[in-house]
Amino acid sequence: MAILKVARLGHPVLRRVAEQVLPTELRSPQIQSLIDDMAETMREYNGVGLAANQVHTSKQIAVIEILKDPRAAEGPDVPLTVIVNPQMTPLSQELEEGWEGCLSIPDLRGKVSRYTAVRLRALDRHGEPMDLIAKDFFARVIQHEVDHLNGMVYLDRMKDFSTLTHLAEWHRYWLGSQAQDD
Ligand SMILES: [Zn+2]
C-alpha cells in the first residue's frame, strides 16, 4: 500500500466529471490497489472521505470512513465504505449547515448546507450493488464525495464565504462545531 499525492484546488482533475468504472475494470489489480491506497491516504491525512480524482485518477470511486473521533459529534461510526459509480438522491427537503474541510483545499473550513438524508445507490469494490440510506454527518460526507466525482468542491456549495476560515482561526474563534476533511 502507498500514501498517494493529493491534488490541490486548481488542478484540473478536480474539475472534471470522473469516468464510470466498468465491472471488469473494477476487478483489476490496479483498481483494487488504488482503492487500498485511497483508504490509506484518507487515514494518513485524518480524512473521513476521499474521491479518486483527489488522487489524480478520474474514476467514479470514493472511500468513506467515519470512526469515533472527538470532532464527529453526530451519528454512528461508518466502517470503511467504498462507493463506485454512485447515484445519490436527496431524501429530505431539509438542509442543514455544517462545517466542511477538504484534503484538496488545505487549511480552510467553511459552513455548507447539505441535505440531512440521502439515498445512495452504488457498486461496492467487488462490483456488488449497494443501496443505502444515510443521515446527518454520513449523508454530508456522501454529498461532499459525490460532488468531487462531478467536478465540484464544497466552496461551490457555500451560499457565501462569511464562514470561510483558516484552521488556526477556526480553532480560535469557531471551535465547538464539528469539522473534518473529506
Ligand atoms: Zn473534499
CA of 154 to the centre of ligand 1 (A): 7
State residue 73's pLDDT score: 61
State residue 48's pLDDT score: 95
State residue 68's pLDDT score: 73
Q: Which residues of the chain have pLDDT under 50?
A: none
Per-residue cell: 71: 470532532
CA of 93 to the centre of ligand 1 (A): 23
Q: Which residues of 96-116 are buried (b: 16+ CB within 10 A; e: fewer)?
A: bebbbbbbbbeebbbbbebbb
Q: Catalytic residue positions?
A: 145
For 142-175, give the secondary structure using H, E and C.
HHHHHHHHCCCCHHHHCCCCCCCEEHHHHHHHHE
Burial of 67 (0-12, 13-18, 19+ CB in 10 A): exposed
Model pTM score: 0.94
Q: How far apart are CA 162 and CA 140, in angstroms?
A: 20
Within 27-150, where are the H helices? 29-44, 136-149
Closest residue by Cα to residue 49 from 26, 29, 22, 67: 67
| Chain center to CA of 24 | 25
CA of 94 to the centre of ligand 1 (A): 22
State residue 49's pLDDT score: 97
Report yes or no: 53 and 124 within 8 Å, Cβ to Cβ: no
Instruction: Give the Cβ contact number of residue 120 at 10 Å.
Output: 22
State residue 1's pLDDT score: 85
CA of 31 to the centre of ligand 1 (A): 20
For residue range 37-58, what is the model confidence (pLDDT) as tens digits? 999 999 999 999 999 999 999 9
Q: How far apart are CA 105 and CA 153, in angstroms?
A: 9
